[in-house]
Structure 1
Amino acid sequence: MAALAWLLIPVAAAVIAVVWGSWAARSRKSGDVAELAGYARFREAMERQDSGSRVP
């Protein structure tokens, strides 16, 4: 029984590696559109005038 356990450990590790590899190599369909829109909003917010709410 111990020999079977020693055989199952590398097999389970190989299965986990295959699942992780396929997940890591998946194609992401979201693209850069959402990220670019968020960056544009960030730039617009940084370019706005100061509201004058600072305390000296």
Structure 2
Amino acid sequence: MNRNLTGLLIGLVGAGFTVGAYSQTMMSTTQCLTVGLLILVFGLIVKEGFLSL
């Protein structure tokens, strides 16, 4: 799988966490937003080629 597709898939997971922050009850809203944003940053790092999977 190429870098762009991998970065996109990781970004979609992060966006899902971020958007779902207000509708779930397992984590606090702040924790869910933080996890989502960290996943988005991780996807960006993969997409830009600083880290390969």
TM-score range, shorter chain: 0.3 to 0.5
CA radius of gyration, larger in = 1
TM-score (norm 2): 0.41
Q: TM-score, normalised by structure 1?
A: 0.39
